[in-house]
Amino acid sequence: MRILSLLPLLAALLAASPAAAWELIMVERPGCAWCARWTREVGPVYARTDEGRRAPLRRVDIDAAPAEVTLRAPLLFTPTFVLADRGREIGRITGYADDGMFWGLLGAMIAKADRAADKGETVP
C-alpha cells in the first residue's frame, strides 16, 4: 500500500523533469582563432542564456572527441558545436563567423528538436 501512495509523487516528479538531457559540445583545438573569438564573444554569457541552461556547454579537444557521444559524421573543423541528447548528436554547427550567426543557428536547432519532441519523434 505504501508504494501505491508514492506513485502520484513519482509521476509529478517525472512530469516536472525536462524531456531532454541536452548538452552543447564545443569541439576546438589549440591555436584556433575562431574558437578564441567565440570564447570572447559568446563564452562569457552562454551559461546565463536560456540556451545555455537547456544545453550546458562542454568543451573538448578535437583529438579527444567524446567517445560516449554517437556522432552523425566525423569532426573535421574547429570550432564545431554538437547538440547532443543523451549521448546522441541531434544537431551541429560547423564553424563560427559571429555571435549573430551562432545564436540564430543554435536557436533553429533547438526549435527543430523541440518540434520533434512535441510530436513524440526523434530529431532526424
Query: From CA 71, how far away is CA 19, in angstroms rounded?
Result: 21
Contact criterion met (CB below 8 Å) for 89 and 64: no
3-state secondary structure the chain: CHHHHHHHHHHHHHHHCCCCCEEEEEEECCCCHHHHHHHHHCHHHHCCCHHHHHCCEEEEEHHHCCCCCECCCCCCCCCEEEEEECCEEEEEEECCCCHHHHHHHHHHHHHHHHHHHHCCCCCC
What is the pLDDT, as a whole number, of residue 121? 66
* CATH architecture of the domain with residue range 22-118: 3-Layer(aba) Sandwich (3.40)
Q: Render pLDDT for 10-53 as a digit per residue (tens, 0 to 9).
A: 343 343 334 558 999 999 999 999 999 999 999 999 999 999 99
Per-residue pLDDT at 93:
98
**Rounded to 5°, angle at Cα 52 from 90 and 80:** 50
Indicate whether 1 pLDDT > 50: no
pLDDT, tens digit (0-9, with 9 covering 90-100), for 105-120 = 999 999 998 888 777 7
Counting Cβ atoms within 10 Å, is residue 60 exposed (0-12), middle (13-18) or buried (19+)? middle
Residue 91 scores a pLDDT above 70: yes
